[in-house]
Amino acid sequence: MDEMLTAATAVPTALFSGLLLVALAYWLLVAMGQMDIDMFHIHTDHGEVGDLGHHGALDFLSIGKVPLTLLLTLFLLIAWSLSMSAELSLRAPLSSILPSWAYATIAGAGATIAALFGTAAAARPLRKLFTLDTVHAHQALVGRQATITSGQVDERFGTASIATDGPDILLNVICATGMRLARGEQAVVVEHDAERDLYLVAPLPHLRPGFLATGIDGTPAEQPPAPVLPAATLPANLPANAAPPARATESA
């Protein structure tokens, strides 16, 4: 028991031990209903050429497909287990050839890298259990006002956030061909592309009058269409082929 405690409090294992205790406290609060399991919701299913490496890493780790809090807990648990195993089996044999700081650096880096791959492998089967992006949730975002958070939004790539009572909802967005939206500009979510899991956004009409998005692959219209007025209805007791009653005029 003393050996286990010593290993758990030795560097680098002590770092993972402390963070794992924080994760344990968090999950206790989740079980008590005081915190949300999905408190860091991120949408990450689209990127342009310059962001392929970033996007690929996020997809590899299932970020945006499995709750980030669960991924972090898996990572800490795996890293702590590996670091503990190394502490118990390797520190003594290597102490004669490596100074303590060198062992701690190598063991910490090795446990971190191995834990990243272990987390990716463990999280992949969990994707089916956590449907973070349902059709209902997507449709609920259509019509909402969003703030552009990337440098710009074009027909290929962009990001935006929607303010909520809790954490902001982060979205991958595009706009119609030929349009550009700048960071900080207000936009409205027009529709969701389920195949690519991204959203089409358009400038707010009162900020850019005359803009109309025709669809994910559409182009902006020069003028908005005339409003469609409801067709006039005939009284229920009037024959269908009868002329509508004349409008009454005031007598002179």
Tens digits of per-residue pLDDT, 153-174? 998 888 898 887 767 788 889 9
Per residue in 231-243, pLDDT (tens digit) is: 444 444 545 455 5
How far apart, in whole angstroms, are the C-alpha atoms of residue 194 and residue 24? 36
Q: Where are the domains of the chain?
A: 2-129, 135-203
Say if residue 46's pLDDT is above 50: no
How far apart, in whole angstroms, are the C-alpha atoms of residue 131 and residue 82? 30
Per residue in 53-67, pLDDT (tens digit) is: 455 777 788 887 788
How far apart, in whole angstroms, are the C-alpha atoms of residue 9 and residue 200? 51
Per residue in 189-218, pLDDT (tens digit) is: 999 887 787 899 999 875 555 444 444 444
pLDDT of 15 reads 94
pLDDT of 127 reads 79
How far apart, in whole angstroms, are the C-alpha atoms of residue 198 and residue 143? 14
DSSP helix, strand, coil percent of the chain (3-state; round to 5): 40, 15, 45
pTM of the full structure: 0.52
Pick the CATH number of 135-203 from 2.40.50.140, 3.20.20.80, 3.30.9.30, 1.10.10.10: 2.40.50.140
pLDDT of 215 reads 46
